[in-house]
Amino acid sequence: MSMSGKVYVVGNFKGGVGKTKVVTMLAYQSAVTKNKKTLVVDLDPQGNATSVLARTGNITSIDKSITEGFKHENLVDQVTNIIDNLDLIPANTAFRNLSKILIEKYPDDENAQVFYLRELLEPLKEHYDAIYIDVPPTISDYSDTAMLAADYCIIVLQTQELSLDGASTYIAYMQYLADTYDSNLNVLGLIPMMLRKGGRVDEEILQQAKEKYGNNVLNTVINYQERLKVYDVEGISMKYNVNGKLDMWDKKAHQVFENVLAELEEHEQYFESLGIN
């Protein structure tokens, strides 16, 4: 059966809002609880998603990279398996030269530069149900190529003033890119991340976001959880105790992202029903 996986870029133009956390957790849920063939493409030279997923799969050294894929015009050879159903195209620091790589490939063709990732992902779409892209939080070649390769944008909205601004800028820029390059790109949803549950500012920002973006804002709110911090250090896991029951804190952490995924799927079905994407 030939698949055509959907491509999701997760973003916000403010750093430190939990983008990588959302990419890695959603991809893990997609692979483990939904049994979907899932790929994470790490476009961030800092490689945080790569580190977390390497720990998740107990992989000590990775010899593949997105940089090699871009240089040799082939991402298929750079796929690294993490666990069942979950693969990664890893980042490395050499990828900070992305602009240079693109200009050397296509010196006089800006269109070819911005659509290069989209081209490289084409052959991979047949093998995956879902492809998640993690990008640095900047307006740059990284965000341009990722947005133009994606079917949908998922926006991480941390409940603080600057993150709402970051989200607005992100959506405005996404629309500008879609118009400029005649690309079909939609916001699949804004995921609220609360730093402090019940904090007054947090609640106010969430309210503002809902007034501005309506049903695009998910009902599921990701609250701060110690267990999610642990996953950064040890990799993502689901531990079962002697009775075969899932560890309570793991269950809580994964449940939230399962809910997020379910809501995003509803949004996607709605878009599909309108014949968009």
pLDDT at 167: 87
Structural domains in the chain (count): 1
Compute the half-sphere exposure of residue 90: CA atoms within 13 Å on the CB side of its CA: 21
What CATH number has the domain bearing residue 227? 3.40.50.300
Write out pLDDT tens, residues 9-48.
Answer: 998 888 777 899 999 999 999 999 999 999 999 999 999 9
Q: Domain for residue 196, yes or no?
A: yes
User: Is residue 154 pLDDT above 70, yes or no?
Assistant: yes
User: How confident is residue 195, by pLDDT bands cut at 50, 70 and 90?
Assistant: low
User: How confident is residue 177, by pLDDT bands cut at 50, 70 and 90?
Assistant: very high
Q: From residue 160, how far is each of 16, 67, 132, 201 by CA, in Å?
A: 12, 34, 25, 7
User: Which domain covers residue 129, as residue numbers?
Assistant: 6-273
Q: Domain for residue 120, yes or no?
A: yes
User: Is residue 265 pLDDT above 70, yes or no?
Assistant: yes
Q: Domain for residue 176, yes or no?
A: yes
User: Is residue 1 pLDDT above 50, yes or no?
Assistant: no
| 143 neighbors 12 (Cβ within 8 angstroms) | no
Helix (H, G, I), strand (E, B) or coil at 208: helix
Q: Domain for residue 1, yes or no?
A: no
Q: Domain for residue 49, yes or no?
A: yes
> In degrees, to the nearest 5, what angle opens at C-alpha 22 toward C-alphas 99 and 86?
85
